[in-house]
Chain A
């Protein structure tokens, strides 16, 4: 049985179309749901420093590969944020290179926008989006080891980068096997298409959800990040899993979030990225806009250890 989730929003400075609501079980729900605020021009703030010594810190960006000024601004803001929140790596949620994929596109749509981070040897781990040629998996700076889907370990966490464009049986079998072996404290999955979304343009990927979510539940995946929707959204925990959408790190679909029962927090008026820290008992996260404006933040408790693979029955979570 997984512990109930209490979302603690520690920083809230929300734009005109942004809103934050606690999960139904959250004691903060009533308080947070009334937090819509008019748009303002808050001064940029520094990222919140890490809260724990041996935690795993990373940044999350999605739908990035435009080569536009907004992508560069997010890249610069990430560099600034890293001074106070020294994240070790970045995960990319797909649509890494939009449009043509000529060699120069990799420069203008990836290498230059994140040059300072790449120069600082910050590794990026990409997932494939629907605008990505699968041969991107051979592009060394994306660290995909030539695979459409892959896994890696960082500190106390195991990450699973999936190819949601093509969730075929070999990939599902691989995911089942890898998840069953994962013994890390945190299990984090990321891919392009969101299983839950309040976006008007796309919405939830129900088809994909029927295939992968049972495995997430069975093996106790804790957090899932997706892109595709060009905004930021934090979904109320679903079946004990935290879901985030970050598809607004270079593309933006203003006003696309349709506030509904899924949304814990949403922001669709500016470009954003996420900082996350996986600690001993909780994940701290902070969402910043390209101007450094704090959009959402909180602490999400780690669930109880899932049953071991050998004891895998349908979970009651």
Chain B
């Protein structure tokens, strides 16, 4: 009886050790998600620091106060991360993950659905980090099924699609925080 238990116990230990040798120490995607959220947290810290002297957002009947705060917020954030460049927040690994998610989402759509999405997306746009999202352009809705696949963001941040870009946008500052380019095929394909 004791021998049987020892054999079973040794077998379990050996099996576990073998499994650990075969599997990577951590799930690479999960680790990248963790790292991505750390970069998001870092952005939020910079944002909070840059905007702490600005008045809180409150409901007002004066649209000038709303647009004034939006502009001030955007300028303060852009100034505090003046050297930011594409990929700083998304990161290399997460950029690959996002592009893959976008490509899979694109493939899953019907030709009519793709056409409809293309028709919604403005063309001929040049965007960069720390740029204000063009105020004359509509904010194209992000497909809900795609959103369901993406990491959740703090309420002040959102993903957006425009032309062939995938953006990270600061909602209250109307500021482009990060850019991923060429996420969709060109339109003549």
Across the interface, which residues of A come within 8 angstroms of B67, CB to CB?
A: 101-103, 135
The interface size of chain B toward A, counting residues with CB under 8 Å, comes to 35
Indicate whether A69 reaches chain B with its CB closer than 8 angstroms: no
A46 nearest CB across to chain B (Å): 32
**A206-225 interface with B by 8 A CB criterion:** 206-208, 210-212
Q: Tell me the bound Cα distance from A157 to B165 in angstroms.
A: 41
What's the nearest-Cβ distance from chain A to residue B11, in Å? 42
Tell me the complex Cα distance, A119–B143, Å: 39
Which of B12-20, B53-61, B90-98, B176-184 is found at the contact surface with chain A?
Answer: B53-61
Of A2-10, A83-91, A139-147, A180-188, the stretch lying at the interface with chain B is A139-147
Stretch at the interface among B21-29, B35-43, B77-85, B131-139: B131-139
Contact A146 B57 (CB under 8 A): yes
Cβ-defined contact, A207 with B145, below 8 A: yes
Q: Which residues of A contact B2 (CB under 8 A)?
A: none
Interface SS of B by simple majority: loop
Binds B, one of A47-55, A166-174, A234-242, A283-291: A166-174
Contact of A140 with B61 in the complex, beta carbons under 8 Å: yes
Q: With A141-B61, A203-B116 as known contacts, state yes or no: A210 contacts B144, CB within 8 Å.
A: yes
Chain B nearest Cβ from A99, distance in angstroms: 6
> Which residues of the other chain, A, contact B32 by a CB distance below 8 angstroms?
none
Contact check, B152 vs A165: say whether CB atoms are below 8 A apart: no
The answer to whether B135 and A193 have CB atoms under 8 Å apart is no
B66 touches A138 (CB 8 A): yes
Is there contact, CB below 8 Å, between B63 and A211?
no
Q: Assuming the A-B contacts A139-B60, A139-B61, are A130 and B139 also in contact, with contact meaning beta carbons closer than 8 angstroms in the complex?
A: yes
Q: Is B5 in contact with chain A by the CB < 8 A criterion?
A: no
Indicate if the CB atoms of A211 and B152 lie closer than 8 Å: no
The interface of chain B, by Cβ under 8 A from chain A, is 57-64, 66-67, 70, 112-113, 116, 120, 135-136, 138-148, 152-153, 155, 158, 171-172, 174
Q: A130-B120, A146-B57 are in contact. List 5 more A-B contacts (CB 8 A).
A: A102-B63, A130-B139, A135-B66, A146-B59, A169-B148
Instruction: Please list the residues of chain A having a beta carbon within 8 angstroms of any beta carbon in chain B.
Output: 99-103, 105-106, 130-136, 138-141, 144-146, 164-170, 193, 202-203, 206-208, 210-212
